[in-house]
Chain A
Amino acid sequence: MPHGSGASLEWSSGRVTAPFHGPVRYRYGNDDEETQVPEHEAGGPLGTPTLEVRDFLRRRREQIAQRWADEPLFRAVFTLSRDEAVEAGKAVVDALAQVADARRAEDSDAAGFTGVREQLARMSTSRSRAGLSLAQVSNELAALWPPVDNLLAAELAERPVEELRACTTTLSTLMGTLRVVAVQTALSEGQALIDRQRLQLLEVATPVIRLWDGIVAVPLIGTLDSARSQVVMETLLNAVVDQHARFAILDITGVPTVDSLVAQHLMKTVAAARLMGAECVVSGIRPAIAQTMVHLGLDLGSVLTRASLADALGYCLHELGVAVSSPAAGGAGHR
């Protein structure tokens, strides 16, 4: 698809001399409809680079979007339809123009960006899913700048150098802010995902299993931090009340490391269960962990421990007076 080149532009040269009065009509390249740019009522001189850039963005909206659609970022995100990419590009250009209109080119919280945040989030998510790092996504966003810059340079070629430079700087700031917004959006998306998964982990990772009448067990898997151990303690104690359990087994086979903090959490849980009238057994301490705990000088002396969950269950059944008859010596057998 051909892009409007500088030669086909018919935009009025009278625009070069500063302030104009009344609406001005522009016609340009591949867009036959006439676009009206209303006069800016803010009172400031029209020569302000920010407003200049805004007007430029509004005039060249279509062209910029067309060029962006050919950039790797848009091509990769909108694989199905080029029109969709152009539409997305237009939305981004509109947002930039709106931010420039509010003269908040450096402000990533500017209201103008609100509308495109979702768009940017979608784009960055889709790129991260393709395996790109955040830095690479940011680089792809940076690649959006040159096409716009070229257009701007071509358009303001006849203007004084200082003016051109001021406009370029503003545009560059604007594009930089866009990058910041995109990265921010991507980061907050990631943070939201992490928060959601942390909650899910808390819910999922602490099932209380009823092993027998009056025996409940919690198989702990993964690292124990204070938030998790709090949840474990609460769910275990509630299960003790609900199921009327005399014994609670804490199985730590799935806990990779035991340090003083984890040991303290275990002791607290055991003590709380004991206060409620249930006996707590800790099982599944692996040999290496047992060695580490001794080296660290952790005292689990008041805690009843067993090597495996099976041993712990056996102990509890024995204490409850339940006899398990097994045909083969040493095996749990069928009941």
Chain B
Amino acid sequence: MYPRPGAGHVPVLRLGDILLVTLQGDLYDSTAQQLQQDLSETIVSAGVTGVVIDISGVEIVDSFLGRVLAEIAAQASLLAARTVVAGMRPAVAITLVELGLTLPGLRTALDTQAAMALLEQPVVLSHAGGTRRERA
């Protein structure tokens, strides 16, 4: 029950100011390209500020998927939208790290709900460093 190459079309759902994309199973070159095109067009036409990519249904990952995610994030940020990848499975995360794809520019969340909450927050510039909690 694999989608035939070229036949797959990943739906892009709009929820207010956020676009929701759910990836499932294998992702083929043509599907990925179509998705990237759909996303950039929808971001511009709808004027959204955030994109959530739910990959909890992805069990097998390769460097291609990693690159697609990074590219989507990069093109979305060019269009002033933040991208959050949600629901990555432990095995997928380990594989990506072992492949050397730590995807540094990508925001991540535990699930779609957390991703929505993250996108509702105002833009924080210094994410990594954080502020050291001062003792009172």
Interface residues of chain A, those whose CB is within 8 Å of chain B, are: 233-234, 237-238, 240-241, 244-246, 268, 271-278, 302, 304, 306, 311, 314-315, 318-319, 326, 329-330
Contacts and interface: CB of A to CB of B under 8 A. Distances in A.
Interface of B: 85-90, 92-94, 96-98, 102-104, 106, 108-111, 114-115, 128-130, 132-133, 135-136
Contacts of A268: 97-98
B133 A277 contact: no
Given A246-B110, A275-B103, A277-B110, A237 B130 contact: no
B93 A273 contact: yes
A335 to B, nearest CB: 15
Contacts of B98: 268
B110 A275 contact: no
Nearest to A325: B136
21 contacts: A234-B94, A241-B89, A246-B110, A268-B97, A268-B98, A271-B102, A272-B90, A273-B93, A274-B102, A275-B97, A275-B103, A276-B88, A277-B87, A278-B110, A304-B129, A304-B130, A314-B133, A314-B135, A315-B132, A319-B130, A330-B136
Given A244-B110, A329-B135, A272 B130 contact: no
Contact of A275 (B108, B111, B128): B108
B136 A326 contact: yes
Contact of A318 (B92, B97, B133): B133
B52 to A, nearest CB: 11
A272 B97 contact: yes
A330 to B, nearest CB: 5
Contacts of A304: 128-130
